[in-house]
Structure 1
Amino acid sequence: MKKRFFCLLLPFFVFPLFAQEKTDLTRVDLQEYKPILLPVKAHSVYPDQELVVKLTGYNHKGTDLKFSFTWSLGGEMDQKKKEFKWTPTENDIGIHPIIFTAIDTFTNQQVSQPAIITVKARQYRPTLEIKSNRPLPDGFLVLDEGDDLALVVQANDRNPTDRLTLGYYVNNDHGKKFGNAKFEVNDKVAIFLWSPNDTQAKEKTLNLTFFVEDQTGLRAEKTVPVFVNDIVHIPVFKNKTREYFIDEGEILSFNVYATDDDREKITYKILSTDI
């Protein structure tokens, strides 16, 4: 009798329960379970930097939501934290669309939001390389007054589209340049030609600072310290040699003119005469 009793009760209790669950699903108000996914703002990131996008979604019933994304660049979704995580590479530089989706796990209703992710080229500081017609020591470059100096200033930048500005200044004065120097820029290469004059030689030490700057303000500088030996110059007469003929009792008068590249005061003396 016990075996017969259980056989009769099993279908009696199981089938009504199954029918009751099916009835509840058909009576669900789908609007109350429809997920709401808030708009996702645009994000930007640099190569090798992890991007984390926080998603905010819910429905009025408070049931669990599952999040997913659609694009071809990889990444992963942390369902517990509701976060999308992705680390781009240099090959991903550019603007990429992505679609995020929230799915209600009870009714399978879903809603999507588009977003834009921009991978920016990492901004690198430009660099400078200087080559000279003379060996560049670790300390002062020693020149004599009148020596020729030729420098090639080469700028480099890992950001190929950057706009670079090349220039130089003297002795920490950003507006000071040599009037007797030539500085020509051709794209990322500049040529500096200079021969120190007497005025510059009297300063003895001069710092030539070359710089490169990109459009974002990133800058690199290199300084070439120069020591100039002042060369002593002998005054030079500018008068042409000529003969003077005068009569007895007549006064002989003529001008004597000399120059000195050191621009020092010149004193004139008669050292010998046959008169």
Structure 2
Amino acid sequence: MRNPRRANHGWTAPAVKQMLSMATYAGKRQHRGQIVADAVWPAFIEPQTWELLQLRLFAPERRRTNDWPVTHLLSGISFCAERGSPLRVGKQRSGHRRGADDGVKPTHYLTYVCSGLKGREVDGIRNGFHVTMKKDRVDMLVVRALLKRVSQPGFVAQLNSGAGETSAEREALLHEIRECEQYLEMAKETSARELDLTFYLDQKRRLEPRIETARAAYNQLSGVDPLVLKLASAEDRTAMFESLELLQKRRIIRALMTPILHRAAPGKHGSRVIDPTRIEVRWVGQDY
């Protein structure tokens, strides 16, 4: 039944935004949030115009989320590989009471579980528990993958280097940053061989301001979320990420990746061994 409070709202701004974000109107087919093929129906909006519209609607500086009052790192922004439904947080019992009066209470731990299939049974599995994994394990594996990604050489320089009016300027800045970083890497190797870091530290002092200036100019042109750039540029990325508030951590994860949780292998359900292959990370945009 339709909520009577919304009966007279008509065309609200969120409703229009949601409609315009659908690739269907650009004559495209989507699967799990990704455009996979041209549709058989004609486009209501030209695909190029639709792409430009997405850049405006979902620019980092305009982004708003309904995270409040979220309490978990990946709930709602990670997905089930089997059904494509968002993951939610549930409880699993880790102990069993052997008697009603022995005073021993069961202990629980948090898990990510598929939010789909509530009240249904599919393939003999009830209420979405076909995909479940300890919350702490999933968080650890996703954060580890994220920090490894942003720590790759040249990550900051290569963020969001797509085409556009500023592509030539961005390419020139990328070239300058890469050359400087490659030269510093060579200087570091040379100093290590000679067991004297004087040369490397001197070159680093000279080139880092140049690199930072080029990065700032590139970032201004790229439209990348400033918080992502701050993390990628931090000297200690792990410490910086841990110091962020939960909503900021989720914002970075949204900007860079979509975590996907796969079902445990047959016979491995409930295993205490961490299986990193169950976590698939789909990176946003190009490979860096």
TM-score tier after normalising by the smaller chain length: under 0.3
Whose Rg is larger?
1
Task: Judging by fraction of residues, say which structure has more strand.
Answer: 1
* TM-score normalized by the length of structure 1: 0.20
* TM-score normalized by the length of structure 2: 0.19
Task: Judging by fraction of residues, say which structure has more helix.
Answer: 2
